[in-house]
Structure 1
Amino acid sequence: MNERDYFTEFMELVEEKFGLDVLDEVLEMSGDEGIYTAVGSYDHKDLVKLIVNLSKKTNIDPATLQQVFGQTVFKTLLNAIPENASIGSSTSTFQFIRHVEDYIHVEVKKLYSDAEPPKFHFISETETDMVMDYQSARCMSHVCLGLIEGCAEHFGESVKVEMTPQTEDSSVVRFNLTLA
């Protein structure tokens, strides 16, 4: 997925969950025309602004909105994976998450050389626990949480997730995942 896909996915989610009127108001509040092209480059701060303004409009916490967005984006991400890709043969949440760093983030860099995908630094893993640091300049760890939840749902697993910021600006967040 490229930056445009995140914006269009977010707008589709808002329209589906809250209606076109709310989407129009959020775009207006954000000074955003809602037009994203495949060749454009978009600042993640604009997406954050849309999320914050949706939060103001709906009285739903921005972190919760990011989390729901992440759950939705997982389905799109899954559908975009080629059938012959090794990540597609994952059979568990932990296995899929491991492949994200090795496959998806590498492919993003191939397609968009100036892209800065988040990084996963794996600290430990057993059959039932995984500890990793999520590092992103975009500080959208709740989107990552939603992606993990969407992944676990896809594999029919129940995963308890604890998040602990490792830096003051939350650009690095430790995720402790436990299969229930």
Structure 2
Amino acid sequence: MKGIIFTEFLDIVERTFDLEVCQSMLDMADDPGVYTSVGSYEHQRLVKLIICLHKVTGVSPENLQQTFGRAVFPRLLTLLPNYDFTDSNTFDFIRSVESYIHQEVKKLYPDTTPPRFEFSNETETTLTMDYHSARCMGYVCLGLLEGCADYFEQHLDIALEPTTSKNSVRFHLSLSDN
């Protein structure tokens, strides 16, 4: 997992809670908290940080992941070179993650394995998406989807459905006027 995820996670924990909570989480995880945005780290380190943050704050790991995904979305957008958002909307952007963004990430970082999306049941206002990842970060993805809808100022109803595979979840997305 790229270091930018770790550096952003620590920054969001510090802003959302405070420096003491962040330090308590790092101490409990026996993690020095030293990451570079361009480094690569095992995703288990992030999982351990999330579990320790849960123990420090009492907030569920799923909620912490979702909150992180939503909060990190705008920052990840700034890292997309040459992506034109002019005529995009939430669904256009989500589709482009698989068809464009992950392809560009692989060019920059050939050793990376980004999650994979499969789309089905598409209409103008609904989309079913299967999220496949060996990192099992479905709730981070849920937060990223929410952050995407926030960015495009659209209301998105999202239902997360477990699948029979431990490495995937299904999202049912519906745009509404609310």
Q: TM-score range by the shorter chain?
A: over 0.9
Aligned to 2:145: 148
Asked whether 1:159 is paired with 2:156, we answer: yes
Paired letter, 1:85: Y
Q: Secondary structure at the match of 2:66?
A: helix
Structure 1 position 47, deviation (Å): 0.2
Q: Deviations over 1:119-169 (max 9, x none)?
A: 000112101100110000000000000001011011111111011111352
Asked whether 1:115 is paired with 2:102, we answer: no
Structure 1 position 172, deviation (Å): 1.0
Q: Deviations over 1:42-82 (max 9, x none)?
A: 00010010011101110001000000100111101111122
Paired letter, 2:83: A
Task: State the percentage of identical aligned residues.
Answer: 51
8 Å Cα contact 1:90-1:96 kept in structure 2: no
Q: How does 1:59-138 map to 2 (within 5 A)?
A: 59-82=58-81, 84-86=82-84, 88-138=85-135
Q: Secondary structure at the match of 1:134?
A: strand
Single out whichever of 35-44 and 92-101 deviates more from structure 2: 35-44
The TM-score with structure 1 as length reference comes to 0.93
8 Å Cα contact 2:90-2:152 kept in structure 1: yes
Aligned to 1:172: 168
How many equivalent residue pairs?
Answer: 176
Unaligned runs of 5+ in 2: none
Unaligned runs of 5+ in 1: none
Q: Distance in 1 between matches of 2:41 and 2:88?
A: 34
RMSD of Structure 2 on Structure 1 (CA): 1.3
Q: Deviations over 1:84-113 (max 9, x none)?
A: 324x33521000000011111111111111
Q: Distance in 2 between matches of 1:90 and 1:123?
A: 22
